[in-house]
Amino acid sequence: MIWLLIFTILAVLVITNRIAGKTYVARVLYAFDVFCCALMTQENGVSISAECGLYWRRGNPPVFWSLLHRMLKMLQKDHCELAIASDLERAQAAVKALS
């Protein structure tokens, strides 16, 4: 039951983020995503989807991350890899802006 709730929340966030595009709402949703990821993993600066993809890349991910990867993959093929690329692009833009 809890997995259905998590899946529904993720689906709503993904759809909302796509609709919002590059608006203020999308940036706030992304910041919330990164905040939640920091709470869950103590890693900062990456989204939950990117962190999920990184666990998957390392191999043998914990059960939660494996199930999350499957759910995200149902929503969008290569979702986690696209999230990693997007987070990397944001980080590179931030470095450029701060240099």
What are the pLDDT digits (tens) for 56-88? 999 989 998 998 899 889 888 899 999 999 999
Separation of alpha carbons 73 and 79, rounded Å: 6
pLDDT bin (cut points 50, 70, 90) of residue 93 is very high
Q: What is the distance between the terminal CA atoms of the chain, rounded to a whole angstrom?
A: 47
**Token reading at 56:** 């998957």
**Token reading at 83:** 């999230």
What are the pLDDT digits (tens) for 8-40? 776 677 667 666 667 777 788 788 888 888 888
**Token reading at 10:** 């993720």
pLDDT recorded at residue 36: 84
**Token reading at 52:** 């999920």
Residue span of the structural domain in which 87 resides: 2-98
pLDDT recorded at residue 92: 95
Cβ pair 83, 33 in contact under 8 A: no
Q: Taking Cα atoms as reference points, which of 22, 67, 23, 20 lies closest to residue 48?
A: 67
Domain count, the chain: 1
Q: What is the pTM of this model?
A: 0.77
**Angle of the 2-20 helix axis to the 24-41 helix axis, nearest 10:** 150
Q: Which residues neighbour 68 within 8 Å (Cβ) at sequence distance 6 or greater? A: 6, 10, 48, 52
